Structure 1
Amino acid sequence: MQIQSDYIVVDNVRSLQLALITLSQSDCLSIDTESSGYYTYYSKVCLIQISSKGKNYIFDPIRLDDLTGLGPLFENPSILKIFHSASDDIKALKRDFGFKFINIADTMFSSRLLDLEQNSLLYLVEHYHKVKLSKKEQKSNWEKRPLEKSQLQYAALDTVYLESIWTKMSEELGKRKLLDEAVSEFAKIAEEEPEPFEGFSINLEKFPNVLELGSDERRALHDTLGFRDEKAKRVNKAPFRVWNNDKVLELVKSRGELNKLIDILGKKDAENLYQVYKNPSGPPIQKNDLFKRSIEDLAGEEADRFKRLRQWRETIMSIRRMGHNLMPSNKNIAEIAKRNPKSIEELKELGIFSNWKVENYGPSIIAAMQSKPYETTLSGLIPIKKKFD
């Protein structure tokens, strides 16, 4: 398959009409997006890239008032839509434009199912095409206009290889009898809805060197990050662009000295933050408090079910010779333990698993929660790794 990397910018009504006519005749679309999230608090889609039949279109939502014409293409079950990391793109497109998706493929999920060494698009292009892509523009400001030619070239290259990569991946998935599992997972991804965005959570445990701080400093750090987040919302800037981590630590160290805070922030922000320090949000934060998880809320029978489900997960991973990234998370397992489904249908209604997983994992999950043997229900599972490392 010959790769064509030239691109067509679609930023007016006439070019949009022509692009839609051409794309409506396709049976396969490779899709990617570029968003503003590295620069803004509230992320929005700034570009939509679509490649098909050797043509690469870059749609500009900032210049175009109406992109509803793409909707019928995305919903058409006869047109395959190929993504890399489909969940992120699909949720963003649903959030900003209300699009729906039917019949998708995801090369990132496929790379995990095929147990490739890495899962990035950069790696897949090099693995299948022996081409090294540059990621220099990955963290560009996609909201600014006009965009640089280097940005547009980068954006176009994110979709030009997807169809050929998926063709090779689907063949290998079929040979290894993993294609049905992949297709079912794709359908689940296509159905996912974006959750309402109410702000970034403050993950204190991920802050650099947080364990080296005292408990009072950790509380002040928590409150500083909360203050920064509120300011970032107001000015619609990514939090780290309001104050980076070094500045946050400087503020924490200066929390008892208003004059120092004024020197760092200016009078208004300094006085407001000083009041936050004078009226902290809670008690000092001990090291053990950093790593508490929702699963610690489980007790009694719920906790017992959670332990059995974790053992079930280890059993599946051993049988299929697979890593955690293809298995339900602790959060998922805790939710199952709490809801305690008694049947396959009740498990399906939780919306955690694809239909393939409900069918192939469901009986063993129900049995595990009821402390019943389940190993005989797993005999048909296909290993992910071809052999042990």
Structure 2
Amino acid sequence: MVKPAVVDRLQQLVESPGQLAACVEDVAHSARVGLDTESNGFHAYYEKVCLLQISTPEADWAIDTLALGVAPLLPLLADRARECVLHAAEYDVLCMKRDYGFSFGRIFDTHAAAKALGIDRVGLHDLLGDQLGVQLAVDEQRSDWGKRPLSPEQLQYAFADVSYLLPLREKLGEELGARQLLAEAEAEFARLIAKEPRPREFDPEGWQRMKAARALDGRGRAVLRELYLLRDRRARDLNRPPFKVLSDLFLAEAARRQPKGEEELLRVPGTSLGALKKVGSQVLEAVKKGLSAEPIPRPRPGGGNGPQWRRGSPGAPPPEVEDRYQRLRAWRRSRAEARKVEVQVIAPNAVLWAIARANPSHLDALSRVEGMDAFRLEQYGPSILEALHRPGDQQKLL
């Protein structure tokens, strides 16, 4: 039976140095803490951590990182003697490195643990319901965490995200140990800690991935490009996400209709009158600039996801590399099916491509391939080499 979450412990919004000191003292006396972050990525061009939540055996803390520095906490969270429990840790790991130049010492990721166990429903709310019988009703994930004051609903959501991480970790940890999967999970936790954030880079050719790019004619595409570039410049200036400045629908329709004046512009769907008053003249100038440019050819299909090549085409990997990659995929699929886990638990695509390109002939060479940590090497190394060098028509389900 799923029961609503019940709180019978201290939950403190940390807004003053004194409250932060109390939080630091509590963490210092805890060998294991739950942790989560809330950022403003849905509401700002330049994302940053706005709230840091920490759960100890004694209390839950929500630190207002816009009001306080978190430097006193960082050494405690970097201490390998202390385990930090997170759910879907990659995002939090990257945010903490980006904003504070900080790396966790030791983590337990309940999302990665659940995937290693072959659990189908691995979202936090699903895991809490299925594993602990706790139902969380509030969802404020996409609310504006950069606005102050925070609402009661936001705080309820923020605390709920960490309140049950420690008991969830206990349950999943016991199952990992019982099934002798703890070493595999810990290898994944280490990989997550090692991930590095990438600076946000604007792709000036990103407009080609829009559906409209294939439907428009050459001049329409030139207009779409100019509108796309304008939207990003405006988003940077306002520190707002591009989609909140001008919608994709507006860009596509403006590129199709190509308004010449204010009256025509006001008939373009996809934005508000208020937004057009602020940016309308720049939109008309972008349309004019696009119409005066050279028409742009239709983009190639497959511009968004997946390989940007066809077998044997310029830029494609050599056929022998792709053949090795396909043999490794077949090996991975059979392993995943035998364990009843997702294929990415066995090895991500990037690791398979790295192996296919390196074409190692022995374990020592395989160990030098990026992504082949000690666990993968021990568990899968010999069978990877066998799959790699076995002709495709003789491939076994290893």
Normalised to the residue count of structure 2, the TM-score between the two structures is 0.83
Identical-residue share of aligned pairs (%)? 29
Out of 113, 116, 124, the residue aligned to residue 113 of structure 1 is 116
- Secondary structure of the corresponding residue to residue 197 of structure 1: coil
Instruction: Tell whether 2:308 aligns with 1:284.
Output: no
Q: Which moved more, 1:252-261 or 1:74-83?
A: 252-261
2:164 corresponding residue in structure 1: 161
Letter in 2 for 1:213: A
Instruction: Tell whether 2:220 aligns with 1:213.
Output: no
Q: For 1:89-123, what per-residue CA distance to the aligned partner results, in whole angstroms no more than 9, with x for missing partners?
A: 01101110111212210011112122223111111
**Structure 1 79/305 Cα, relative in aligned 2: closer, same or farther at 3 Å?**
same
1:103 corresponding residue in structure 2: 106
Out of 347, 351, 358, the residue aligned to residue 377 of structure 2 is 358
1:85–1:109: 8 Å Cα contact kept in structure 2? yes
Out of 370, 373, 377, the residue aligned to residue 389 of structure 2 is 370
1:385 corresponding residue in structure 2: none
Out of 17, 21, 26, the residue aligned to residue 17 of structure 1 is 21
2:36–2:92: 8 Å Cα contact kept in structure 1? yes
1:10–1:59: 8 Å Cα contact kept in structure 2? yes
1:90–1:190: 8 Å Cα contact kept in structure 2? yes
Instruction: Tell whether 2:27 aligns with 1:8.
Output: no
**Structure 1 323/267 Cα, relative in aligned 2: closer, same or farther at 3 Å?**
same
Letter in 1 for 2:340: R
Instruction: Tell whether 2:199 aligns with 1:185.
Output: no
2:222–2:290: 8 Å Cα contact kept in structure 1? no
2:60 corresponding residue in structure 1: 56
Gaps of 5+ in 1: 379-389
Q: Which moved more, 1:324-333 or 1:96-105?
A: 324-333
Q: For 1:160-181, what per-residue CA distance to the aligned partner results, in whole angstroms no more than 9, with x for missing partners?
A: 0000011011111112221111
Once the two structures are TM-superposed, the CA of residue 231 in structure 1 deviates from its matched residue by 2.8
Once the two structures are TM-superposed, the CA of residue 63 in structure 1 deviates from its matched residue by 0.3
Q: For 1:271-292, what per-residue CA distance to the aligned partner results, in whole angstroms no more than 9, with x for missing partners?
A: 0343135436842225465666
Instruction: Tell whether 2:57 aligns with 1:43.
Output: no
2:285 corresponding residue in structure 1: 271
Once the two structures are TM-superposed, the CA of residue 261 in structure 1 deviates from its matched residue by 6.7
**Structure 1 351/334 Cα, relative in aligned 2: closer, same or farther at 3 Å?**
closer
- Secondary structure of the corresponding residue to residue 33 of structure 1: strand
Q: For 1:224-247, what per-residue CA distance to the aligned partner results, in whole angstroms no more than 9, with x for missing partners?
A: 444423332232211111112322
- Secondary structure of the corresponding residue to residue 148 of structure 2: coil
Q: Distance in 1 between matches of 2:258 and 2:360?
A: 50
Letter in 1 for 2:337: S
2:259–2:265: 8 Å Cα contact kept in structure 1? no
- Secondary structure of the corresponding residue to residue 365 of structure 1: helix
Q: Distance in 2 between matches of 1:3 and 1:164?
A: 14
Q: Distance in 1 between matches of 2:138 and 2:291?
A: 41
- Secondary structure of the corresponding residue to residue 23 of structure 1: helix
Q: Distance in 2 between matches of 1:31 and 1:261?
A: 52
Once the two structures are TM-superposed, the CA of residue 80 in structure 1 deviates from its matched residue by 1.1
**Structure 1 289/219 Cα, relative in aligned 2: closer, same or farther at 3 Å?**
farther
Q: For 1:278-323, what per-residue CA distance to the aligned partner results, in whole angstroms no more than 9, with x for missing partners?
A: 4368422254656661464212332232222222222322333332
Gaps of 5+ in 2: 1-5, 267-275, 311-315
1:143 corresponding residue in structure 2: 146
Q: Distance in 1 between matches of 2:294 and 2:366?
A: 43
Q: Distance in 2 between matches of 1:220 and 1:336?
A: 43
Q: Distance in 1 between matches of 2:360 and 2:111?
A: 30
1:381 corresponding residue in structure 2: none
1:5–1:156: 8 Å Cα contact kept in structure 2? no
Q: Distance in 2 between matches of 1:103 and 1:111?
A: 18
Letter in 2 for 1:299: P
Letter in 1 for 2:336: M
Q: Which moved more, 1:232-241 or 1:277-286?
A: 277-286
Instruction: Tell whether 2:327 aligns with 1:323.
Output: no
Out of 315, 322, 334, the residue aligned to residue 353 of structure 2 is 334
2:41–2:48: 8 Å Cα contact kept in structure 1? yes
1:301 corresponding residue in structure 2: 320
**Structure 1 141/72 Cα, relative in aligned 2: closer, same or farther at 3 Å?**
same
Once the two structures are TM-superposed, the CA of residue 60 in structure 1 deviates from its matched residue by 1.2
**Structure 1 346/70 Cα, relative in aligned 2: closer, same or farther at 3 Å?**
farther
Q: Distance in 2 between matches of 1:224 and 1:332?
A: 38
Q: Distance in 1 between matches of 2:239 and 2:376?
A: 40
Q: Distance in 2 between matches of 1:182 and 1:270?
A: 55
Letter in 2 for 1:155: A
1:227–1:273: 8 Å Cα contact kept in structure 2? no
**Structure 1 214/270 Cα, relative in aligned 2: closer, same or farther at 3 Å?**
closer
Q: Distance in 2 between matches of 1:5 and 1:354?
A: 41
2:34–2:163: 8 Å Cα contact kept in structure 1? yes
**Structure 1 115/315 Cα, relative in aligned 2: closer, same or farther at 3 Å?**
closer
Out of 239, 245, 252, the residue aligned to residue 249 of structure 1 is 252
Q: Distance in 2 between matches of 1:281 and 1:350?
A: 45
**Structure 1 235/176 Cα, relative in aligned 2: closer, same or farther at 3 Å?**
same
Letter in 1 for 2:299: I
Q: Distance in 2 between matches of 1:210 and 1:197?
A: 24
Q: Which moved more, 1:183-192 or 1:44-53?
A: 183-192
- Secondary structure of the corresponding residue to residue 8 of structure 1: strand
Instruction: Tell whether 2:33 aligns with 1:29.
Output: yes
1:35–1:45: 8 Å Cα contact kept in structure 2? yes
